[in-house]
Amino acid sequence: MALKRQSVQWPWQGLLIVILLGLAIGLWIATKQVNYEWRWERVPQYFAYQDEEPQTAPFAGTVIKISPAGDASQVTIQPESSGLPATVTVETATLKVAVGAQVNEDDEMGATRHWQVGPLTQGLWVTIWISFVSGFFGLIIGLITGLCRISKNPTLRGLAVLYIELIRGTPLLVQIFIFYFFIGTVLHLDRIVAGIGALSLFVGAYTAEIIRAGIQSIPKGQSEAARSLGMSAAETMIHIVLPQAFKRVLPPLAGQFISLIKDSSLVSVIAITDLTKSGREIITSSFATFEIWFTVALLYLVVTSVLSQLLFWLERRFARSD
Amino acid sequence: MIEVNRLIKIFAGRGQVVRAVDEVSTQVAKGEVVVIIGPSGSGKSTFLRCLNGLEEFDDGQVIIDGIDIAGSKTNLNAVRREVGMVFQHFNLFPHKTVLENVTLAQRVVRKRKVAEAHDKAMALLTKVGIAEKVNEYPSRLSGGQQQRVAIARALAMDPKVMLFDEPTSALDPEMVGEVLDVMKQLAREGMTMAVVTHEMGFAREVAHRVLFMDAGKVLEDAPPARFFTAPNEPRAQAFLKQVL
């Protein structure tokens, strides 16, 4: 008999489905218990909604003609006093007058509709760009700090170690408060700048350690070969060590940036209207607490999954030379 | 071409002090091939690495083509340009293709134009017999091929001296020959070479002089004919008995 046996997969996959179903049913029963009324239909309007803008009569007169043009209707009004008739375009569904009706000046004839971006979409956008900008600055700070950390100069090394220890030893929430209320007040920083600054410094400290580990993981022979060809220390770093180090640290860096997107929710405490803050604001007006928090969580999940796929793709591209 | 005066390199660590290179003085003339042999830990690799400053020596003098490499006004990078080095483990740049491995330093250090660096690289890769692999990454090459690329990479800088640090020690036996052939050809063309190796056949055939090192000291300095037949030192006699 062969040592390698074909293991049977389907009972375990079945068990997985049973467990997931059990969890879903449990969740459903739990919400039944608290008598919560689900109103999922309220959620989409917070992504985007149709804004109605009322259209009024420019002067008193009589409606003489209503001609449809697609979804809209053109209402023609003949003024009471002599003069040229005017037309007002409104959505047919919102039409409030009929032919022959008498209208006064500023009477509502109907409304035009146009799509408006909802608070969830706006919050999502704020979260994405704040994370992206913080990640960009964090990477630069991390690269510089990482290089200082392995420098032979004791001053640079000491500063780098101090910075990393300070950031890694204190909670991000406290850092955001300090950055906003202390540094922000002293330097007159906008709340967005303070938020981005705090996040950049936070992610920079972790990135520095990742980059240091990456650089130190490159065999000494690589820089020896480069130096033996006459390259300077900086040229060796740029052409030989850093490209290889970056390739190696891509998975931990990806993890760090995914964490950053999630950690960015903390800037909502200094009144930056990111995804989390938008969610809280919507709940105060809609009372759809469960639906909104689930939606917010899902949106974070979507963003982090997309980033994770993107970095995975990048990793495979870099693996070409392996 | 190379002049070494009372070179001392001390490794200190874990309470131990090792005099890896202990007052070595020698010189290598232009066009001369010097082979350094000796048992493991005798300091021969460390000595070789001191010659281009990869190892920071503690005392003494290394003069390459008239320039004291430890001099306060010496630009060590400029000296290294003139001194090619080939390593035991090849140390090719894994993220660059074979061609890029050979052109990179030409572009960065010698500031050559793309076309010029490319032509030089192709000529050298053809010379070492790898011309058909130029667009491969090093990981796709055998050890012998990688080492030949490493030799081409060093030669691309037009060095005046070539240092070889056990260039065949990490190779499968059937690949040793192809690397030694390239080195023999270089020697015939008049390249100044310092070679640390365990290939006694190469030493016998190509070397002008053989240095035998043990415990950081050069015990014998003789032409291969005399060294391999009648070494003076008992330590060298014992070593040869083991390896031949």
Q: How many CB atoms lie within 10 A of CB A87?
A: 13
pLDDT of residue A5 exceeding 80: no
ipTM: 0.93
A271 touches chain B (CB under 8 A): no
What number is the average pLDDT over the span A22-51?
88
Q: Which residue has the higher pLDDT, A208 or A80?
A: A208
Look up residue B96 and give its DSSP letter: S
Q: Which residues of B touch A219 (CB under 8 A)?
A: 91
- The partner residues of A295 in beta bridges, in order of sequence, read none
Check residue A81 and give its pLDDT. 76
For residues B34-42, give the mean pLDDT.
Answer: 93
| B84 and chain A in contact, CB less than 8 A | yes
| Mean pLDDT in residue range A108-137 | 92
Measured in whole angstroms, the distance separating CA A205 from the mean position of its chain's CA atoms is 22
Average pLDDT over residues B226-241: 90
Helix ranges (DSSP H) in chain B: 44-51, 76-81, 98-108, 114-127, 143-155, 173-188, 200-206, 224-229, 234-243
Per the CB < 8 A criterion, the answer to whether B179 and B98 are in contact is: no
Q: Collect all residues with Cβ–Cβ distance below 8 Å to B134 and sequence separation of at least 6.
A: B97, B98, B99, B121, B122, B125
Residue A51: predicted pLDDT: 85
Choose between B184 and B13: higher pLDDT: B184
Mutate to test the interface with A, among B96, B102, B108, B110 (most CBs of A within 10 A): B108
| CB proximity B56 to A under 8 Å | no
Residue A123 has pLDDT above 90, yes or no: yes
Contact between A244 and B96 using a beta-carbon 8 Å cutoff: no
Average pLDDT, chain B: 93
**CB of B81 within 8 Å of any CB in chain A?**
yes
The arithmetic mean of pLDDT across residues A91-100, rounded, is 82
Interface of A with B in 211-250 (CB under 8 A): 219, 221-222, 224-232, 235, 239-240, 243-244, 247
Radius of gyration of chain A (CA): 30
**Please, which residues 118-157 of chain B have a Cβ atom closer than 8 Å to chain A?**
137-139, 150, 153-154, 157
Q: What is the mean pLDDT of residues B11-38?
A: 91
Q: What is the mean pLDDT of residues A87-109?
A: 82
Distances (CA, A) of A186 to A171, A175, A287, B122: 21, 15, 39, 61
Residue B167 has pLDDT above 90, yes or no: yes
What pLDDT is attached to residue A1?
59
Domains of chain A: 51-116 (2.40.50.100), 119-321 (1.10.3720.10)
Q: Is the pLDDT of residue A82 over 80?
A: no
Q: Left if phi > 0, otherwise alpha if psi is -120 to 50, otherwise beta: which for B150?
A: alpha
